[in-house]
Chain A
Amino acid sequence: MQMLQNSVGRKLVMAMTGLFLFLFVIVHLLGNSSVFIGADGINSYAEHLHALGPIVWIFRLVMLGLFGVHIFFGIQLTLENRAARAIEYNEKKNPRTSFGAMTMIYTGLILLAFLVYHLLHFTMHVTNPEISVGALAPDALGRADVFTMMVLSFQKIFISLVYVGAMVTLLLHLSHGIQSLFQTVGWLGAETLPVMEKIGRAAAVVIFAGFISIPVSILLGLINV
């Protein structure tokens, strides 16, 4: 447990939990992309997920744990780092780092808030109960009509803006997080670091583009009920 007090130990915990969260984001994006196949695609994906039963719950608990640890140490490390520079400079230039790196705690907290909203919206159906799967008729095959729920939701400009905004913060968070994770586990050297920084940013952009393509397509009417 010494590791959880150590500077590098906790950095590794951040990296490893971050890695799984990152992998989850990729899987989630792939799953969501089934919306482009139409109602059949995403509704059958949702059906399959629900058929897993308790495994879904185990998965959810694991994710909750990972999130919790990532957030806890993220906040703890940030507080320590602020205490390490109790008095700020009157003038300070940061030529090397990035906006994404400097704002990790803020983007992280925004993502946390978004996550809560996201769960309230699509999972617990609290924010917009009128367009939740419970309120909507099942699809032709009797499955919960996730497709219609998504389309009707994202047709609301406000909801789409919230999601796009959240994905901007995810973009920023990942633009630093991905390369940082590789540095933390010690895989980078002088030559590979700049390359990994580019790859990390590119991957963040791809994920960003992937996620926003859904509300954008719906708003543009490319996906319709």
Chain B
Amino acid sequence: MNLTLYVWRQNGPEGQGKLEQYEAKNVSPDSSFLEMLDEVNQELIETGIDPIEFDNDCREGICGTCGCVINGRPHGPQEETTACQLHMRQFKDGDSLTLEPWRATAFPIVKDLVVDRSAMDRIIESGGYTSAYTGQVGEANQTLIPKPLAEYAMDAAACIGCGACVAACPNGSAMLFTSAKVAQLASLPQGKVEAAERVKAMTATAIANGFGNCSNHYECEAACPKGVSVKFIAKLNREYIKALPK
């Protein structure tokens, strides 16, 4: 199949970017979206054009490195699928695809489709952990955790930190990302101890790093490749309310 690509090219953080048109020829429907980009890049290299820069690593949908906005949707049209797991059979011969980087003030562009997501790390650094020193802990089975609670925590912990929620949110908010960690830890006895400081610190850090506020559009949930639910944002809100008197 043949496709027309409109790809955001931007030389560096300060550069002026624009959409450039490229042709993707003889694409196998069995290739992944990133493999299609690989092939386009091979052609660009042969014609002496700098290849399109895009972040990727594991290419099996778990590391959270890849992602761009494909025709207006983070990670493309397929539900619960990262860009690396998106396969070209999801498109038709002759389609045109517009590829843009995650757009958020908190995610400065590094080059082309590559953005700097370190602001998400700073949210975690501000409290997304339990303060357990190595070796200073008790026997694992001393703390019982009801199975449904463990499942709930795991649903939240499935977040891969790709940033699609931020890219999708009309407000550029990182609330789904933040809430996934807050909810995971607050629902487990190990994380309850620090729950109040955690939720306050993490939500404050998000704003300080230029993320927007959540106004319940739920676009994050629709874009999340791991299906992380906005119920965790409700949980974060509850945790925040509980933390207010403290």
- Residue ranges of A at the interface with B (Cβ–Cβ < 8 Å): 2-3, 5-12, 77, 80-81, 83-97, 101-102, 104, 176, 179-180, 183-190, 193
Contacts and interface: CB of A to CB of B under 8 A. Distances in A.
Given A7-B214, A81-B212, A101-B216, A91 B72 contact: yes
B216 A81 contact: no
B71 interface: yes
Contacts of A183: 216, 230, 233-234, 237
14 contacts: A2-B200, A7-B206, A80-B212, A83-B105, A88-B103, A90-B19, A91-B69, A91-B72, A92-B69, A94-B170, A95-B73, A102-B170, A189-B231, A190-B231
Given A12-B240, A92-B69, A186-B238, A180 B222 contact: no
B216 A180 contact: yes
B103 A7 contact: no
Contacts of A5: 204, 207
Interface stretch (B59-67, B124-132, B171-179): B171-179
A97 B217 CA distance: 5
A8 B199 CA distance: 10
A179 B234 CA distance: 12
The 10 lowest CB-CB distance pairs between A and B, nearest first, are A84-B212, A84-B172, A186-B238, A81-B171, A93-B72, A97-B217, A96-B222, A186-B237, A81-B212, A85-B172
Nearest to B17: A87
A22 to B, nearest CB: 15
A183 B179 CA distance: 13
Contact of A81 (B72, B103, B213, B241): B213
Contact of B200 (A6, A12, A94, A193): A6
B100 A10 contact: no
B175 A185 contact: no
Which one of A7, A10, A88 has the highest number of Cβ atoms from chain B below 10 Å of its Cβ?
A: A7
A214 to B, nearest CB: 31
Contacts of A11: 213-215, 237
A185 B72 contact: no
Contacts of A7: 173, 175, 203-204, 206-207, 213-214
Contact of A96 (B212, B214, B221, B229): B221
A95 B222 CA distance: 7
A176 B219 CA distance: 14
B211 interface: yes
Given A95-B73, A187-B234, A180 B215 contact: yes
B106 interface: yes
Contacts of A90: 6, 8, 19, 98, 100
Contacts of A189: 231, 234
A134 B3 CA distance: 72
B23 to A, nearest CB: 19
Given A83-B105, A84-B106, A193-B231, A184 B213 contact: no
Which one of A77, A80, A83 has the highest number of Cβ atoms from chain B below 10 Å of its Cβ?
A: A80
Contacts of A9: 240, 244
A97 B234 contact: no
B235 A179 contact: no
A89 B72 contact: yes
Contact of B213 (A80, A87, A94): A80
Given A102-B170, A102-B217, A184-B237, A85 B207 contact: no
B236 interface: yes
Contacts of A80: 207, 212-213
Interface string B91-119: 00000001010011110000000000000
B54 interface: no
A117 B215 CA distance: 28
Nearest to A191: B231
Nearest to B220: A96
B240 A8 contact: yes
Contacts of A3: 244
A77 B214 CA distance: 9
Given A91-B69, A94-B170, 4 more contacts: A81-B173, A90-B19, A186-B241, A189-B231
